[in-house]
Amino acid sequence: MSTKVADSTGYTPNFQMSAFGYIMAVVMVILLLPLLPVLIPAYVLWRVFIAEEPVEHSFEMWRRESGR
């Protein structure tokens, strides 16, 4: 077994890894596309009933609360 690893020159694209990435992206889209009718209503229900509104802190609010 070889323990030597070739250094990447960084000058040329790695076509094998690019192809693998594109294939994996297509597979993920194909697998996740049927889940959209479930995920979208679940997200909307979560936002409506469970998620809290984020509190925005502002300088003006700080001045009013601290009495300055």
Ordered by start, the domain boundaries in the chain are 35-68
CA atoms within 13 A on the CB side of 11: 2
pTM of this prediction? 0.43
Q: Where are the alpha helices (DSSP H) in 12-67?
A: 15-32, 36-49, 59-66
For 9, phi then psi, to 5°, come to -80, -25
Instruction: Output the tens digit of pLDDT for each of the chain's 68 residues.
Output: 667 766 766 677 788 889 999 999 999 999 989 999 999 999 999 988 888 877 677 777 777 777 66
